[in-house]
Amino acid sequence: MNANPLDSATRKTRTIFVRTFGSRAAPLFKGVSTQKMMETISVAFARRMSREKAADVGFHIGDWAHDAALVLALHMFPERFTREEIRQVTDFVAAGMPYHSAALATHFGYEGLARNGIREVKQQERTTSVCRAPRRQSARRRPHSTL
């Protein structure tokens, strides 16, 4: 009997993370958001936005930690996953990520990205960068140290 490919990929990811991070990896695979991390994110933004928005940012960063672990495991050890597992992980992440990305984009002033996706961002990038800070202009570059 074949196991569900997403369950199988999650088991492999859990093994990778537990071997790498020990007990710190456990919250990623309990099926619930990691409350401590969500609170830490909320506190980091408490002075920049309302308490409710900061809590929402914490939720939208923390709620997909399991998804992020799956993606990172695929990046680091692609050879450990079957084609079907890769397809299932990709589908799983694609189903949940837009919800979190759109909410975060709205909180940080990227409403066009939240509403219209990448098409509007590409249009805006022709005149200004939406996602990256502008490069600092320097009159001259300093040479690297030769210690």
The answer to whether position 139 is within a domain reads no
- 134 occurs within a structural domain: no
Q: 88: which 2 tokens?
A: 């299932």
Tokens representing residue 133 in the block: 């800070």
38 in any annotated domain: yes
In a domain, 77, yes or no: yes
In angstroms, how far apart are the furthest CA atoms of the chain?
A: 67
Q: What is the pTM of this model?
A: 0.70
- Reading the chain (147 residues) residue by residue, the pLDDT tens digits are 457 999 999 999 999 999 999 988 887 777 555 788 889 999 999 999 999 999 999 999 988 888 999 999 999 999 999 999 999 999 999 998 888 988 898 888 887 765 666 555 444 444 444 444 434 343 444 444 343
